[in-house]
Chains A and B, each alone.
Chain A
Amino acid sequence: MIKYLSMASAAVVLVACSGGETPAQPDADTSASVLTDAAADTETRTAGYSETRNAYFGDMHIHTRNSFDAYIFNVRRTADDAYRFAKGETIDHPSGFDMTIAGGPLDFYTVTDHAEYLGILPSMNTPGTRLSELPRAKDMFSTDQDKILAAFQGVGASVRSGNPIDEMNDQGEMNSVWAQNVAAAEAHNEPGVFTTFSAYEFTSVTSMNEGSDNFGGGNLHRNVFFKGAAPDQAFSTLNSPNPEDLWDWMDDQRAAGFESIAIPHNSNVSNGQMFRLETYNGDPLDAAYADQRMRNEPLVEATQVKGTSETHPDLSPNDEWADFEIYDRLLGVYDVSATKGSYIREAYQNGLKLQEDKGFDPFRFGLVAASDSHVVGGAYAEEDYWSKVGIVDGSPITRGSVPFPGSPDWDNQPDNRIVTNAREWFSRWSASGLTGVWAEENTRDAIFDAFRRKETFATTGPRMKVRFFAGYDLGDVDVASAELAKTAYETGVPMGADLLGDGKTPSFLVWAMRDPNTAALQRAQVVKVTSTGEAVYDVSCHVGTPDPVTHRCADNGAAVDMTTCTATGEGAAELKTVWTDPDFDPASRATYYVRVMENPTCRWSTWEALRNGTPPRPDVPQTIQERAYTSPIWYIPASE
């Protein structure tokens, strides 16, 4: 059993996924006219169309049986099952229990199976196929754990290195499975009701040591999303592990009529590579690199099951909320990822420095979130969590929220692979996350356009809604006015856009509304990043107003009764304010984004311990504050 799980764990790390990207935005304010250039004309609008845009929620990062690192852990559900789960149907986890989506159906959902060896393992395990006759297939599905481990590690190493295992690299089979995933997305896409995209994951990993025979390394995964029709074949690491080659391919596909974006994910475990200040091959960055990266990767995943990538306490020592669901183990191993070059806020700052020094910024991306579930259905609620690696982390014992059987508490846990993997990996994973988009209607075009505009926000699971605008006349707007959203679009720019300087001090409208079915809100913050520093301002509080010197809200008294996981104290249904930056410098670029905090709630590991009647795991937090992060608004001085 232990041996089996050690092989499982080796694979677990692979289970990291990718995100999508959007093209670079010019340094021009494109959003002021937003209300008039809505794409759909009246006749083709779907029910629910709104000029002032609706908040839609979705998960764009889901694996099914066609991903090699899902199938090996007994995942047998398909893309069709995935979409049915997102629409509210109950499906089963490979460990046998039922999974139903928390918080009701989602508005959009996307299957992103690994392109490398897409659908090859299922074929290897199907009698009568050519692939099932391979000696490797016999090993992969034998009962000898050493053989399974060796066969599976070999696949992981191939995905990482980009050196194909020729006998398994059956392009015809992969294309046909890709066509099945595309067909499932088409079948479930229902304009006005539910949106899907054809998508896959590009599974690039940097090597820690050349020639190593496993998957260990820095995560450079991306998910690639097609706006409409998709090409017949997916570009994978078996074509090239270099993400810049992926961008070249996407540029070519775009020219051929297949518009797409790629979204990187888990920069937190990229070993400093996701936002490094060199190209993949170690050359200096230049304007062409920045243009191509922004054209193809306008968004980045900020939070998912394998932790958050916003910032790290070592990078943001003055941010009291920075130490949140930090996960730092490289894929498939226990080694710790380098911090510098791995986090979003630092990338925003480095982008501004590059802009000042060299005139380009390759890191002007917006934010989204996803689960990266490898069991077809995402687990977004702390009180109903099932992690993501099939049978490997499908129970409280294997993910370490309860003591190993035989021990009544956390002292003297046995030294075995299950306990170690739970300590290093699974216990530190998160019930996260979801993407929110502001779009006129729930259609592919409207949602994809929102991705391109970066009018998106990331949440750690709840469906709180956040609007964020900047403008020079917003200070005069009555925030109580019934038509506030319309006014804000008419007088300002929304999240994801640039605000061009005109010598005046801008005002920011920060507006958050709670998820009616999760905890109430505690505070809304603006995070400001410049080329020389960062600052976190509380701007709207549940109780009172922020202290003008410390920029902090008073304690609102919200807490959690740890004997029942019941929330105590009140919170806000809405937080809404017009804010001006007390340290504004009209001559300096600055990047502003909003972070909204819920009141504290029990972490998933605490819920599971409570149900088990054992003490919560001591080396992870007992409570968390769920949160949302918006895409930034970039202030650009008039003189530039």
Chain B
Amino acid sequence: MKTLLKEPLLHFVVAAALIFAGYSWWSAKQARADSTIFISSADMERMGALYTAEAGSLPNAQDIQGMIADHVRNEALSREARKLGLDEGDTIIERRLAQKMTFMISDLAEDNTPDDQALQEWFAANQNTFEAPARISFKHIYLSQSNETRATTMLQALNSNDANDWRKMGDAFMLQREYVDLPSRETVRLFGVDFRSTVFELQARNDWQGPVTSALGTHLVKIERLEPASIPEFEAIRPRVEAQWQEENRKRQNAKSIGEIVSRYHVELEGMDRK
């Protein structure tokens, strides 16, 4: 692993130096003796090795940024926790302390209720989160073996004027032969990805179409209704929007509190000039 890391470690250090330019806001804070977080090259090597072992690949620039940010965050939070009277020295304890501090912070987060306008604006900015899935209503006839001639003949018969009971045609299908308002992801669950892609490209029509291939075989389909994905009206889903806003708000407040704690610390990286 040592040799494996030789080369990447160089990248790691160089990239870390670049990334640290982005952390200048930390250093804007007053430096106190106990408010410096020093990251040595040994620390970085250890982080790199741990990452490689856990993730199974070498860290890229973004990963490095993440690792250092995590490290700084954990260190800052655990120091803060120690200030509250807890004290001990190994990694797990430090991580636990940081986690405890995190829980404490999230317990402190206020349960604000946004006013109407704020909520509507937030909904407008985040409406993709609330998208109602595309839906399809269709009948299908299942052919367990791919057989072009059989499919074509059957399709002609279905679309002719002759009386045909579609329910008795084709092979036995273990589930349903008719689905109403099936959400797009349910078509994936039942028939697989390829089937979904194909049927949502078809038009709702009065005649039978196909054959369409699925993970299960081939199907002749009669598309009764296709409903594209849509954004629901705000009023119709207001409780959901508010719940989501609260969740986001909690996350935002937590991040803010943690950011405030982290910003009390000053970060130094061995072998690199502070910005």
A positions within 8 Å CB-CB of B: 1, 4-5, 47-48, 50, 54-55, 74, 76, 88, 103-105, 143-144, 395-397, 402-403, 405-408, 463, 465, 467, 479-485, 511, 513-514, 516-517, 573-574, 576, 608, 610-614
Partner of B188, one of A47, A406, A516: A516
Residue B191 at the chain A interface, CB threshold 8 Å: yes
Residues of chain B within 8 A (CB-CB) of A406 are 1, 49
Bound CA span A480–B174, Å? 11
Residues of chain B within 8 A (CB-CB) of A47 are 180-181
Known: A408-B1, A517-B215. Is A482-B167 also a contact (CB below 8 A)?
Answer: yes
Partner of A514, one of B55, B97, B177, B215: B215
Q: Are A4 and B191 in contact (CB under 8 A)?
A: no
Smallest distance from the beta carbon of B133 to chain A beta carbons, Å?
10
Partner of A573, one of B50, B180, B188, B215: B215
Q: Are A54 and B53 in contact (CB under 8 A)?
A: no
- Nearest to A609 among chain B residues (CB) is B56
Known: A479-B172, A514-B215, A516-B215. Is A395-B54 also a contact (CB below 8 A)?
Answer: yes
Bound CA span A516–B186, Å? 11
Bound CA span A608–B56, Å? 8
Bound CA span A493–B168, Å? 23
Residues of chain B within 8 A (CB-CB) of A483 are 167-168, 172
Smallest distance from the beta carbon of B107 to chain A beta carbons, Å?
8
Known: A1-B91, A612-B56. Is A482-B189 also a contact (CB below 8 A)?
Answer: no
Interface residues on B, range: 35 or more
- Nearest to A574 among chain B residues (CB) is B144
- Nearest to A106 among chain B residues (CB) is B189
Smallest distance from the beta carbon of A592 to chain B beta carbons, Å?
20
Q: Which of B56, B99, B191, B195 has the most CB of A within 10 A?
A: B56
Residues of chain A within 8 A (CB-CB) of B214 are 516
- Nearest to B82 among chain A residues (CB) is A143
Q: Are B185 and A88 in contact (CB under 8 A)?
A: yes
Bound CA span A484–B170, Å? 11
Residue B118 at the chain A interface, CB threshold 8 Å: no
Contact with A along B156-179 (1 / 0, CB 8 A): 000000000001111111111100
Contact with A along B231-266 (1 / 0, CB 8 A): 000000000000000000000000000000000000
What total count of A-B pairs have CB within 8 Å? 118
Residues of chain A within 8 A (CB-CB) of B87 are 143
Apart from A143-B97, A465-B175, A608-B56, 6 more pairs, CB < 8 Å? A48-B176, A88-B185, A396-B56, A516-B214, A516-B215, A611-B57
Bound CA span A482–B144, Å? 11
Residues of chain B within 8 A (CB-CB) of A88 are 185
Q: Are B189 and A143 in contact (CB under 8 A)?
A: no
7 shortest A-B CB distances, which residue pairs? A516-B192, A612-B56, A516-B215, A484-B172, A611-B56, A1-B92, A143-B88
Q: Are A613 and B57 in contact (CB under 8 A)?
A: yes
Known: A88-B185, A143-B97, A408-B1. Is A513-B172 also a contact (CB below 8 A)?
Answer: no
Q: Are A517 and B193 in contact (CB under 8 A)?
A: yes
Smallest distance from the beta carbon of B13 to chain A beta carbons, Å?
20
Can you offer 21 A-B residue contacts whose CB atoms are under 8 A?
A5-B92, A74-B99, A88-B185, A104-B185, A104-B189, A105-B185, A105-B189, A143-B96, A396-B54, A480-B172, A481-B172, A482-B169, A482-B171, A483-B168, A513-B216, A514-B215, A514-B216, A516-B216, A517-B215, A574-B174, A611-B55
Residue B90 at the chain A interface, CB threshold 8 Å: yes
Bound CA span A640–B190, Å? 43
Bound CA span A513–B167, Å? 20
Residues of chain B within 8 A (CB-CB) of A513 are 174-175, 216
Smallest distance from the beta carbon of A404 to chain B beta carbons, Å?
8
Q: Are A54 and B216 in contact (CB under 8 A)?
A: no
Q: Which of B92, B168, B170, B173 has the most CB of A within 10 A?
A: B92
Interface residue ranges of B87-108 to A (CB < 8 Å) = 87-88, 90-93, 96-97, 99, 103
Smallest distance from the beta carbon of B151 to chain A beta carbons, Å?
15
Residue B86 at the chain A interface, CB threshold 8 Å: yes
Q: Which of B96, B174, B181, B192 has the most CB of A within 10 A?
A: B174
Known: A76-B103, A482-B173. Is A103-B86 also a contact (CB below 8 A)?
Answer: no
- Nearest to A403 among chain B residues (CB) is B53
Residues of chain B within 8 A (CB-CB) of A484 are 172
Q: Which of B50, B53, B215 has the most CB of A within 10 A?
A: B53
Smallest distance from the beta carbon of A131 to chain B beta carbons, Å?
16
Smallest distance from the beta carbon of B104 to chain A beta carbons, Å?
9
Q: Which of A88, A396, A516 has the most CB of B within 10 A?
A: A516
Residues of chain A within 8 A (CB-CB) of B144 are 573-574
Partner of B216, one of A5, A76, A480, A574: A574
- Nearest to A395 among chain B residues (CB) is B54
Q: Are B168 and A613 in contact (CB under 8 A)?
A: no
Contact with A along B116-131 (1 / 0, CB 8 A): 0000000000000000
Partner of A405, one of B49, B55, B171: B49
Bound CA span A517–B50, Å? 33
Q: Are B189 and A397 in contact (CB under 8 A)?
A: no
Residue B210 at the chain A interface, CB threshold 8 Å: no
- Nearest to B187 among chain A residues (CB) is A516
Q: Are B217 and A573 in contact (CB under 8 A)?
A: yes
Residues of chain B within 8 A (CB-CB) of A465 are 174-175
